[in-house]
Structure 1
Amino acid sequence: MKQAINIRLEKEMVKALDEYAKELEKTRTSLVEKAIELYFDRLDEMVADKRIDDLKSGKTTAVSLEEVFKKAGIDV
């Protein structure tokens, strides 16, 4: 189910968005959704990089799968 949100963009960005939408025969919404979807992919990479850095620096530690199962009371 879709949920409406309100955002404010610079006029130039809206103009460019409208031009792309017209050229591609898409709606503003579909283009914004796709842009956010693609940016989420980039954010996933950034989060993964941060987690790796945190492991390397000792800020966090890894837990083995066996330990996770044991704490959850799952026999494997």
Structure 2
Amino acid sequence: MTQVKKITVTLPEGLVLGLNDFSKELGRSKSGLIKEAIEYYFDILDLKIAEHRASTKGKTYTLDEVKALINE
């Protein structure tokens, strides 16, 4: 089972009001919505980091080139 940690965050009032509204509308907990939002945002950050690394590093490889390197 995944360990759960409790944290405290400070948010602008507008975000809190929106969070309350979504929570009521969807019948979901605020913690669950925040968790889902953070996971989604981290996926976006991962993509941005990968794109940045690809644009600033040396050679990039095609899928066929990677397969050939693995099979060597």
Tell me if both proteins adopt one fold, taking TM over 0.5 as the criterion.
yes
Shift of 1:20: 0.2
Shift of 1:18: 0.4
Paired residues for 1:1-76 under 5 Å: 1-56=3-58
**Percent identity for Structure 1 against Structure 2:** 31
- Write the letter of the residue equivalent to 1:22: K
- Write the letter of the residue equivalent to 1:19: D
Task: Report how many residues are paired.
Answer: 61
C-alpha RMSD of matched pairs (Å):
2.2
Shift of 1:5: 1.1
Distance 1:6 1:26 in 2: 19
User: Which runs of 5 or more residues in structure 1 are unaligned?
Assistant: 66-75
Report the TM-score when normalising by structure 1: 0.70
Report the TM-score when normalising by structure 2: 0.74
Distance 2:19 2:25 in 1: 10
Deviant stretches of 4+, over 2 Å: none
Shift of 1:11: 1.0
Distance 2:27 2:40 in 1: 19
